[in-house]
Each structure stands twice: as C-alpha cells, then as structure tokens.
C-alpha cells in the first residue's frame, strides 16, 4: 500500500472526532487478522514471506484490482514460537514476482493490502531520513519543509551550563558554552553523544556503502538543492552540534546536554528549563572520534575545511581517550535524564571502532585488536559497524572472518525461527535490534554474493514493517496498522492526530512493565510485549539510533534490488 497523504489526513480528522469520545486503546479500528506480513510490500525479485496462524494448509494471493487469484501456495509446517506463544506457518511466495497490489488469503482470513514494486521502500526510506529534520534543535521548522509539522524553534542551547561533573579549570561549574543544533534523541529533547555517534555513523556508512541510492534521496529540507546530498546535509546538522561538545583544551568530549529531568509532554519551544553539559566519558570520546574520522573522509569532496576540522577533532578525542580509558558514565544525583551508560564491558569495541575509522581515513595504523566475537551493532557497540567500514575499504581476512561468524549465527538462528527472523531475545528497542541484524545480513550479501543473506535481511526487515505477532508496522505513517500514540513529545503536544511520519517505534520489550502503571496489561510473551500507548516509553518511544539503522537497511535493500 502506498501511503496516501491526503487520504490519511482526512482519515485523521475523522478519527480525531472518534478519538475525542473513545479511550485511546480502542481508538484505531483494526481488521481481524491472522496473517502478518510486511504491510508496505516486497521487491519483485526479493524474498517474500508472511506468517499465518490457523489450520489452513494453503494460501492464495488475490489481485486487489481484479479480485482474482493470481498465485496459490502451500504453507510451511506448523511451528511453535515460544517468544509469542503461537503456532504459526510461513507462506513463502518469493516465486511470485509480478508487480501490483495484492492481499494474501488463508482460509477466510485476509491480510492487509501490500504491493510488489521495485520502488516499494523508496518513500519510507525518504521519510525515515526526513524524520531527523523534524528533530532539529534550535531552528524553526518552516511549513514549506515541515508541512503540518511546522513548529517554532526550541532549545537554542547557546548558553548550556557546565555541570559540576564536567567542570575544568577553563570551564568551571556554572560557566556556559554554546552548543547549538543537533537532533533531539528520542521522545525526549536531550542530546546525547553516545547515541548520536552510532546514529550518524550508521547513516554515513549507508552513504559510503550505497552511494548511488543514498546520494539521490530528496527530503525537501532547507539545504536541498545545494552541492551536498540531502542525507549528508541532514547528518551535518548533528555533526555540527557534536563538535561543540568537545573541550578543545584537552580533547575530552561531554556525554550529554539535557535538562536536569525530563520535561512534560510539551512542544520544544515550551521547554525553557536550563540545559546542562554533563561529564566527559571514554564512551563519548571514542564514539565521537570514530564518527568524526568517518565524517572527515565522507565530507571531503563537499567541504574541505569541515573535513579537516573533523579530523583534528577526532584525533584530539582519540588522544584524550588513550589517557582516560576507563571513565564510565555515572549519572550525577541531580540529573535524571537518559544515561547511555554501560557497565557490562570495557571499551574495547569503541576503541576498535575509533581506531578503524581513523586508520581508514588517514591511511595510518591506529592499533586496536578486533573484539571477538563481534556483536550486532547497537548504541553500546560499534565494532561490527567498524568491521563493515573496514571491509568496504579493503579486505582484511581477520575482520572478514569475525564478521562472517556473526552473520552465520544470525542466519542459522533465522533458519530455525517460526517467524523467519534472527531474533528471539527481546529488550528495549527490539525494532532497532532487528534492523541492526538486517544491516549485518545485507552487508554480508554485499561481500559474499550469497543470496541467503539477502533473503534473511529482507525477512528480518519485514518484521519491522508488520510481519510480527503484534501486526503493527512499527514505522509511523507507513502501513495500515501503525502506532498512533508514540511516546514522543512533539507528536503528543502538536494537536495533530497522526504522529510525525517515518519514526520507528521501539517495539516489544518485556523488561519494563512500570511505565504505564502497575495495572496496565503487557503481554507475558516477550514478542508481544508492546502497547501503542503514549505512556509506554519502554515499548513505544522512538529514537534516532533506531531510525538511523532503518535508513541504512531500507537504502541497502533498495540498492540491492
């Protein structure tokens, strides 16, 4: 189904009237559905699968124009999935390649409509980049770029206060620095270096690995039409902010810039509390060093001066980290915003990540051993992303071996999975985990040419767009059943029924059951522990890192056709 903006807006107003007199949990009427599939659709030559629940042995594909059956198939063997408590069968219709609009029928059940189309992911890919524009701090979003999501500027951050934890001789407690621009991290308005670093790097890697597709994305932002691709213009907004978070005196990088506690559900310009710059950490310095080293080579053809500035900043942060390899983030007592702390492991992966990016950019050898086993990337771990960048520049047998071990473990997990996905361990931001797995898999296809990895990447990506037991496409505004009540301040406060489009909801997470109150129902099955409620920050918030990897995977699948 292509997203029809006008129709959606009309539906929004009708729903708005209904919404005003019904409780949120009943607000969006959903079709009865025992078939879960990618609600946008599939690439003609790509892997195509849906999940069916029920006793039927066969499935049909119906052309929605002609209402005729165009393909018939047999469902796979029933498989029980502990994560969802369901017995399901897979419908594999990869052999059906005819472009068009369809629905899948199993017994008396019908799926959502979906397309088979060469450009099926183009629009959502563009929207997922555009979402970052909606999150720009310190600037008015004009209607010609933001449409109905136009808003006043918030958080100029030209007088961010140095917190006691960040004080130094030249920047004592209570002094101020100017730290404007950047993106809001998530449903809150904080700006966090660790999460910014993995996000900008994942997006720059999308650009480096798939330059043709990412170079032509048009997002209608103020910089559109300049010499630089829109994707890089958008990333630059955050890189400019990140540079201000370095203490140029010693090269250390502050962990975050936020208010002392989370504000209410208000628009950015209403949040006028003081914002604080909080302590320098090793994780911030190394993530920053990695991103800036990568930015230095990515932006070189477009802005030589900026490229040089990034490299100087990267080296300074790297040098600071060499002398400060164990400065973990410790949340000060008077600060309650996000921590992005990590006590589970040392900073080996961040060190490898920064060393790799610096080595690629400078051609010199920055030493750091590859941490094995490599893990799926996330905000806590940039090593596999570094491995991908390394392999994108030159083949290194050790790195390739470690990367293939990771990809093969994902592939084998998927082979045994009832939902044909590489994940059954659910936690905060599970949508991001699925997408990072899909990124590893699609990149493995690129270096191996083995279609099994591409199919696995597609199948994992399908999860986020609706092939999951919740039946939600977790991308706002894309798909028939999509979150309407994301934990996101502007979407709640802007009086527009539809949330900002193109954001990835965090997805099922059984870990935190307290956010909607002790009595709120959250499924005991981890894969179903999701509620589309505003209160559910642990399952229904959005965040830049999850969007960043969605950008990568949607571009990559599009590019690989």
What is the closest distance, in whole angstroms, from the C-beta atom of residue 262 to ligand 9MR in the complex? 8
Residues 150-179 that bind ligand 9MR (CB under 6 A): none
- Rank residues 46 and 429 by Cβ distance to ligand 9MR and give the closer one: 429
Annotated active-site residue 498? The verdict is no
Is 255 catalytic? The answer is: no
Closest residue (Cβ) to ligand 9MR?
Answer: 338
Nearer to ligand 9MR, 96 or 428 (CB): 428
Say how many residues touch ligand 9MR, by CB under 6 A.
Answer: 12
Tokens of 530: 């999701």
Of 112, 135, 163, 487, the catalytic one is 487
Angle subtended at Cα 523 by Cα 521 and Cα 529, rounded to the nearest 5 degrees: 105
61 or 475: CB nearest ligand 9MR: 475
Q: How far is the CB of 196 from ligand 9MR (least distance, A)?
A: 11
Which residue, 288 or 537, is less far from ligand 9MR as judged by CB? 537
Phi and psi at residue 257, to the nearest 5°: -135, 110
Residue 381 known to be catalytic: no
Token code pair at residue 286? 């190394």
- Binding string, residues 533-552; x marks residues near ligand 9MR by CB under 6 A: ----x---x-x---------
Nearest approach in angstroms of CB 408 to ligand 9MR is: 26
d(CA 347, CA 365): 19
Query: Residue 389 and residue 395: Cα distance in Å, rounded?
Result: 10
Q: Judge residue 47's burial from the number of C-beta atoms within 10 Å of its C-beta, 0-12 exposed, 13-18 middle, 19 or more buried.
A: buried
Residue whose CB is less far from ligand 9MR, 86 or 381: 381
Q: In this structure, are residues 203 and 296 in contact, taking their beta carbons and an 8 Å threshold?
A: no
Instruction: Tell me the backbone φ, ψ of residue 382, rounded to 5 degrees.
Output: -105, 5
The answer to whether the bond into 373 is cis (omega within 30° of 0) is yes
Nearest distance in Å: CB 486, ligand 9MR: 11
- How many residues does this entry show for the chain? 561
User: Nearest 5°: CA angle at 109, between 108 and 110?
Assistant: 125
Q: In terms of CB distance, is 339 or 520 closer to ligand 9MR?
A: 339
- Regarding 377 and contact with ligand 9MR (CB under 6 A), the answer is no
Q: Per the residue annotation, which of 188, 462, 492, 560 is the catalytic one?
A: 188
Decide: 237 and 136 in contact? Cβ < 8 Å.
yes
Element (H, E) at 292: helix 282-298
Q: For ligand 9MR, which is the closer residue by CB, 185 or 357?
A: 185
CB of 415 to ligand 9MR, least distance (A): 28
Could you give the string, one character per residue 287-326, with x where binding to ligand 9MR holds by CB under 6 A and - elsewhere? ----------------------------------------
Catalytic residue among 498, 541, 558, 560: 541
Share of the chain residues as helix, strand and coil, in percent rounded to the nearest 5: 40, 15, 45
Binding residues among 402-431 for ligand 9MR as defined by CB under 6 A = 428-429
What angle in degrees, to the nearest 10, is found between the helix axes of 230-244 and 122-134? 30
Q: Which helix (H) or strand (E) holds 69?
A: strand 69-74
Residues 182-241 touching ligand 9MR, rule: CB under 6 A, are: 185-186, 188, 190
Beta bridge partners, 105, equal: 60, 110
Per the CB < 8 A criterion, the answer to whether 238 and 199 are in contact is yes
The answer to whether 117 is a known catalytic residue is no
Binding pattern to ligand 9MR, positions 329-348, x when CB under 6 A?
Answer: ---------xxx--------
Q: Which stretch binds ligand 9MR (CB under 6 A): 5-13, 181-189, 280-288, 306-314?
A: 181-189
Q: Cβ 488 to ligand 9MR, closest distance in Å?
A: 10
Q: How far is the CB of 429 from ligand 9MR (least distance, A)?
A: 5
Closest to ligand 9MR by CB, 134 or 340: 340
CB contact at 8 A, 50 and 103: no
How many CA atoms lie within 13 Å of 460's alpha carbon, on the beta-carbon side?
Answer: 35
Burial class (CB in 10 A: 0-12, 13-18, 19+), 227: exposed
Helix intervals (H) in 43-181: 122-134, 143-146
Q: How far is the CB of 28 from ligand 9MR (least distance, A)?
A: 23
**Rounded Cα distance, 299 and 432, in Å:** 26
Query: CB 535 → ligand 9MR: shortest distance, Å?
Result: 13
204 token code pair: 């720059």
Q: Least distance (Å) from ligand 9MR to the CB of residue 541?
A: 4
Nearer to ligand 9MR, 154 or 429 (CB): 429
Q: How far is the CB of 256 from ligand 9MR (least distance, A)?
A: 9
Beta bridge partners of 50: 91
End-to-end C-alpha distance for the chain, whole angstroms: 19
Q: Are 295 and 313 in contact (CB under 8 A)?
A: no
Distance of CA 285 to the CA centre of its chain: 22
Q: Which of 532, 533, 558, 560 does the annotation list as catalytic?
A: 532
Q: Which is nearer to ligand 9MR, 46 or 506 (CB)?
A: 506
CA quadruple 495, 499, 502, 505: dihedral positive or negative?
positive
Nearer to ligand 9MR, 114 or 329 (CB): 329
Q: Copy the structure tokens of residue 378.
A: 């996330």
**Residue listed under structure tokens 């009595």:** 519
Residues annotated catalytic, as ranges: 188, 487, 532, 541
* Site residues for ligand 9MR per CB under 6 A: 185-186, 188, 190, 338-340, 428-429, 537, 541, 543
């Amino acid at each position: 189904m292509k997203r029809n903006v006008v129709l959606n807006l009309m539906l929004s107003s009708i729903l708005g009237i209904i919404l005003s007199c019904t409780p949120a949990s009943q607000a969006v009427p959903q079709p009865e559905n025992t078939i879960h599939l990618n609600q946008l659709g599939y690439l003609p030559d790509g892997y195509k699968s849906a999940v069916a629940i029920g006793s039927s042995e066969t499935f049909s594909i119906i052309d929605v124009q002609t209402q005729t059956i165009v393909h018939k198939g047999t469902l796979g063997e029933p498989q029980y999935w502990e994560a969802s408590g369901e017995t399901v069968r897979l419908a594999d219709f990869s052999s059906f390649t005819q472009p068009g609009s369809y629905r899948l029928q199993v017994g008396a059940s019908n799926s959502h409509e979906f397309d088979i189309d060469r450009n099926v992911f183009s629009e959502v890919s563009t929207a997922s980049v555009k979402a970052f524009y909606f999150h720009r701090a310190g600037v008015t979003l004009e209607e010609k770029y933001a449409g109905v999501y136009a808003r006043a500027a918030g958080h100029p951050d030209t007088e961010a206060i140095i917190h006691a934890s960040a004080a130094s001789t030249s920047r004592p407690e209570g002094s101020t620095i100017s730290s404007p621009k950047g993106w809001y991290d998530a449903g809150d308005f904080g700006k966090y270096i660790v999460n910014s670093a993995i996000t900008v790097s994942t997006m720059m890697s999308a650009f480096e690995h798939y330059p043709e597709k990412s170079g032509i994305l048009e997002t209608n932002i103020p910089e559109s039409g300049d010499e630089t691709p829109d994707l890089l213009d958008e990333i630059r907004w955050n890189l400019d902010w990140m540079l201000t978070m370095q203490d140029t005196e010693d090269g250390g990088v502050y962990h975050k810039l936020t208010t002392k506690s989370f504000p209410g559900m208000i628009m950015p310009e209403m949040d006028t509390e003081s914002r604080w710059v909080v302590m320098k950490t090793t994780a911030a310095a190394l993530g920053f060093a990695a991103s800036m080293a990568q930015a230095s080579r990515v932006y070189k053809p477009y802005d030589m001066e900026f490229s040089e500035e990034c490299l100087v900043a990267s080296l300074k942060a790297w040098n600071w980290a060499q002398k400060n390899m164990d400065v973990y983030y410790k949340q000060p007592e008077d600060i309650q915003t996000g921590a992005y702390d990590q006590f589970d492991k040392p900073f080996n992966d961040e060190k490898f990540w920064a060393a790799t990016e610096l080595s690629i950019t400078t051609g010199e050898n920055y030493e750091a051993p590859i941490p094995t086993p490599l893990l799926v990337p996330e905000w806590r771990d940039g090593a596999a992303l570094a491995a991908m960048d390394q392999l994108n520049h030159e083949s290194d047998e050790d790195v390739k071996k470690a990367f293939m071990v990771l990809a093969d473990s994902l592939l084998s997990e998927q082979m045994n999975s009832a939902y044909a996905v590489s994940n059954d361990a659910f936690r905060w931001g599970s949508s991001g985990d699925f997408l990072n797995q899909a990124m590893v898999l699609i990149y493995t296809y690129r270096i191996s040419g083995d279609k099994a990895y591409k199919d696995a990447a597609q199948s994992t990506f399908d999860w986020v767009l609706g092939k999951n037991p919740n039946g939600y496409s977790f991308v706002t505004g894309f798909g028939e059943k999509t979150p309407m009540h994301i934990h996101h301040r502007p979407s709640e406060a802007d009086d527009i029924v539809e949330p900002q489009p193109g954001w990835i909801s965090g997805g099922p997470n059984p870990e935190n059951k307290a956010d909607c109150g002790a009595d709120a129902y959250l499924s005991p099955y981890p894969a179903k522990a999701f509620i589309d409620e505003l209160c559910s920050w642990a399952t229904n918030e959005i965040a830049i890192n999850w969007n960043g990897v969605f950008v990568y995977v949607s571009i990559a699948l599009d590019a690989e056709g």
